[in-house]
Amino acid sequence: MEVNGQLALTVLMGVFLIAVAAWLARVEDWRSYTPLAGGGTVGGTAEQYVSEEKPSGVIRWLTTVDHKDIGILYGAYALVAFAVGGLMVVVMRIELADPASTVISNTFYNSLLTSHGITMLFLFGTPIIAAFSNYFIPLLIGADDMAFPRINAIAFWLLPPAALLIWAGFFPIPDVIPAQTAWTMYTPLSAGAGSGNQMNAGVDLMLLGLHLSGVSATMGSINFIATIFTERDEKVSWANLDIFSWTVLTQSGLILFAFPLLGSAILMLLLDRNFGTMFFSVDGGAILWQHLFWFFGHPEVYILVLPPMGIVSLVLPRFAGRRLFGFKFVVYSTLAIGVLSFGVWAHHMFATGIDPRLRASFMAVSLAIAIPSAVKTFNWITTMWNGKIRLTTPMLFCIGFVSNFILGGVTGVFLASIPVDLILHDTYYVVGHFHYIVMGAIAFAGFAGIYYWFPIYTGRMYQVTLGKWHFWLSMIGTNVTFFAMILLGYGGMPRRYATYLPQFATLHQIATVGALILLAGQIIFVWNFVQSWLEGRKVEDGDPWGLAEENLVTAEWTWFERKLQTAVTDGGEEEELATDGGNPVADADAESAADDE
């Protein structure tokens, strides 16, 4: 039996390798043909403007090293992960609609909880940011591509296996169950100690997947640092580098210092689990894990929030009709956050009994980090002040970002104060706090970017009314769900439980309703996104937002304009452009745009 298994595996592996070799030989051969210069594109759509350098069909996507293609791959990947993580949490919220364990078992709840957290942070959050940075940073800084295009492709392709490993416990593999460690993977539970079932290989697979996603993020960050340092156009100096590139540069620095540490900690944990080392099982091992994890974990939250802040800083002024107020200070506060974020990790450990003097210093730094965050917030508000605001969908999401970020930030400052934290730690208040930021801010900035740049990467315009529905359902859903959680936390509802005391039922039900509102909004989003990509009205103007009027055009739109002009126009009639300008005529136009094509 044992031998048979090995044999089967060997044969399988052999066949696989031979198939790979054969395929490579074919592709390499095909590649040795010089493509016809300016050759006819099959199908001749605008999207194929670069096809003389690329194969077509699936192979194009498997072999591409073009930063724009990779950006699109990252985006598609992130949205799939967002859907998976979102559906997981819908099941959890439905379970929480009544106090007892009714729909799913407690262990399954714990599994969903773990996967939801890891999926959203590592498979949605980091990749959706990489989608924007891959696509737009080379355009914004006038580079041909990323500094290391192939490394860029490797970094992306590590992610699908990472997702499969992280979700492996849910697949019908014999003897493998999902991890139930929560995303923080605290030892001794995650080391498999005790009589629980966390010694299962499912946890190892999840750890491997997480490790892979970390390798991917690190490769990406090195690439961005190299690109922004060395590939800028002569015209782009440090003084006029755009705000999004600044935030991605800072984020990449944070990744470079934080993720290798997570990788090492995960390897130590894997060694503990499989090879009998005792890093985390000796005295102090549990607290060692927490230090290692949060030394990564807190910078990670800023890794996730800085580029979305960059997107908002870039998009919001375009629809306020003026330049970003205090640009320099926004950059400085980005850098300040980057540095300070490594000095606050123990605010996640106030309740563990660490030395009170240490605690106090971490409290001080945690309060200090609120200052640069507030600087940014005031800058966004001041940018809008007396501006010519156009409430387009991307702008709505930016304003939603600012609003939710304030709530998330203020609750964070409260948590950073030791006496308050000792009461609220491990309650739903914490869940409310960080969801205001991860959902209310980070995901909102992602949507702002998706709508704002939709014309660039699809060549079409989305449906404006649906975009607004998406925003309002998301905004209301977020605030209903997570404000209820903050109240639950005040009431003392502990986090991470599938069941609860009946006294919490009403607020939990409100949170569930909020989650369903969110779900409805995201279904509209998916519909709008897919349908508009396929059938939306074609954009024929390189400046669909009318940025030129206020002199607010940025480099990626100039590039887009050039692309539209050089791609041979296939006789498109002059249509009135569907801008999302809060302008009723354009709105009505855009709504019917889908039918026009």
Partner 1 sequence: MDEAPGLSDQYRTASPWPVFIALGIPISELGLLFGLFPLAVGGLLLFGGSVVGMLSESGYVNSTMWASVVFSVLLFAFGSALAFTEVNLVVRGYATIAAAALLVVGGVVFELFVREQRDAF
- The phi-psi region of residue 567 (left if phi > 0; otherwise alpha if psi is between -120 and 50; otherwise beta) is beta
Assess 177 for contact with ligand HEM (CB under 6 A): no
Closest CB to partner 1 among residues 73, 249 = 73
Fill in the per-residue mask, 549 to 588: x = in contact with partner 1 (CB under 8 A), - = not in contact. Answer: ----------x--xx-xx----------------------
**Which among ligand HEM, partner 1, Cu ion, none contacts residue 541 (Cβ within 5 to 8 A by kind)?**
none
- In the complex, least distance from residue 66 CB atom to partner 1, rounded to whole angstroms: 4
- Residue 370, contacted partner among partner 1, Cu ion, ligand HEM, none, CB below 5-8 A by kind: ligand HEM
Of 204, 242, 421, 541, the residue at the interface with partner 1 (CB under 8 A) is 204
Identify whether the C-beta of residue 92 lies closer than 8 Å to the C-beta of residue 39: no
Amino acid at 503: Q
- Residue 413 interacting entry, from Cu ion, partner 1, ligand HEM, none, C-beta within 5 to 8 Å by type: ligand HEM
Site for ligand HEM (CB under 6 A): which residue of 80, 286, 413, 519?
Answer: 413
Cα distances (angstroms) measured from residue 294 to each of 159, 172, 173, 266, 347:
23, 33, 32, 13, 9
Q: At what angle do helices 327-340 and 243-274 cross, to 10 degrees?
A: 10
Q: Would you count residue 9 as binding partner 1 (CB under 8 A)?
A: yes
**CA pair distance 204, 270, nearest whole angstrom:** 7
Among 129, 137, 153, 314, binds partner 1 (CB under 8 A): 153
In terms of CB distance, is 55 or 99 closer to partner 1? 55
Q: Which stretch binds Cu ion (CB under 5 A): 38-46, 239-247, 296-304, 357-365?
A: 296-304
CB atoms within 10 A of CB 193: 17
Selected from 406, 415, 498, 586, the binder of ligand HEM by CB under 6 A is 415
Tell me whether residue 232 or residue 298 sits nearer to Cu ion (CB atom): 298
Identify which of residues 302 and 319 has a Cβ nearer to ligand HEM in the complex.
302
Q: Which residues contact 173 (CB under 8 A, 6 or more apart)?
A: none
Q: What is the DSSP letter of 442?
A: I
Query: Is residue 512 within 8 Å of 96, Cβ to Cβ?
Result: yes
Q: Cα(78)–Cα(134) distance, rounded to whole angstroms?
A: 13
Give the range of 2-10, 183-191, 322-330, 574-582 binding partner 1 by CB under 8 A: 2-10
Give the 3-state secondary structure of residue 178. coil
Least CB distance to partner 1 at residue 126 (A): 16
Q: How many other β-carbons are positioned within 10 Å of the β-carbon of residue 445?
A: 30
Of 69, 95, 242, 421, the residue at the interface with ligand HEM (CB under 6 A) is: 421
Measured distance CA(393)–CA(390) in Å, rounded? 9
Q: Would you count residue 373 as binding ligand HEM (CB under 6 A)?
A: yes
For residues 165 and 399, which CB has a smaller minimum distance to partner 1 in the complex?
165
The Cα–Cα gap between 376 and 381 comes to 9
Nearest distance from C-beta of residue 444 to ligand HEM, angstroms: 12
- Which one of residues 211, 298, 468, 470 is an interface residue with Cu ion (CB under 5 A)? 298
Other CB atoms within 10 Å distance of the CB of residue 42? 10
- In the complex with ligand HEM, which residue's Cβ is closer, 118 or 466? 118
Residue 560 CA to residue 378 CA, distance in Å, equals: 32
Which amino acid, one-letter code, is at 343? G
Which residue's CB is nearer to Cu ion, number 298 or number 470?
298
Instruction: Give CA 8 to chain center in angstroms.
Output: 39
Smallest separation, CB 559 to ligand HEM (Å): 30
CB of 74 to partner 1, least distance (A): 13
Asked if 338 contacts 250 with a C-beta cutoff of 8 angstroms, the reply is yes
Residue from 146, 306, 311 nearest 232 by CA: 146
Cβ atoms < 10 Å from Cβ of 40: 9
Q: Tell me whether residue 207 or residue 443 sits nearer to partner 1 (CB atom).
A: 207
Length of the chain: 597
For the segment 79-138, give every residue that binds partner 1 (CB under 8 A).
138
> Which 426-445 residues touch ligand HEM, going by CB under 6 A?
430, 433-434, 437-438
Query: Looking at residue 537, what DSSP letter applies?
Result: P
- Taking the least distance from each CB to Cu ion, the nearer of 433 and 468 is 433
CA distances from residue 231 to 17, 144, 225, 402, 576 in whole angstroms, order as listed: 37, 8, 10, 32, 38
Amino acid at 443: A
Which burial class, exposed, middle or buried, applies to 103 when counting CB atoms under 10 A from its CB (0-12, 13-18, 19+)? middle
Q: How many CB atoms lie within 10 A of CB 573?
A: 5
Partner interacting with residue 150 (select from Cu ion, ligand HEM, partner 1, none; CB below 5-8 Å by kind) = partner 1
From 297-305, 461-469, 520-528, 570-578, give the range in contact with ligand HEM by CB under 6 A. 297-305
Q: Is 192 helix (H, G, I), strand (E, B) or coil?
A: coil
The yes or no reply on residue 409 touching ligand HEM (CB under 6 A) is yes
CB–CB of 49/560 below 8 Å? no
Judged by beta carbon distances under 5 to 8 A according to partner kind, the member of Cu ion, partner 1, ligand HEM, none in contact with residue 312 is none
385 interface partner picked from Cu ion, ligand HEM, partner 1, none, CB below 5 to 8 A per type: none
Query: Cβ distance 494 to 429 under 8 Å?
Result: no
CB of 299 to partner 1, least distance (A): 24
Cβ neighbours for 548, distance < 8 A, ≥ 6 positions apart: none
Number of C-beta neighbours around residue 283 at 10 A: 7
Report the site for partner 1 in 22-81 (rule: CB under 8 A): 23-25, 27-29, 31-32, 38, 49-50, 52-55, 60, 62-66, 68-69
- Report d(CA 273, CA 590) in Å as an integer: 57
Give the one entry of ligand HEM, partner 1, Cu ion, none that residue 165 binds, where binding means its C-beta sits below a cut-off of 5 to 8 angstroms depending on kind: partner 1
Question: Which residue ranges make up the site for ligand HEM (CB under 6 A)?
Answer: 184, 301, 304-305, 347-348, 366, 369-370, 373, 409, 412-413, 415-416, 421, 425, 430, 433-434, 437-438
Binding site for partner 1 (CB under 8 A): 6, 9-10, 12-14, 16-17, 20, 23-25, 27-29, 31-32, 38, 49-50, 52-55, 60, 62-66, 68-69, 138-139, 144-145, 149-151, 153-154, 156-158, 161-162, 165, 201, 204, 208, 211-212, 215, 270, 274-275, 559, 562-563, 565-566
Q: Which residues bind Cu ion (CB under 5 A)?
A: 298
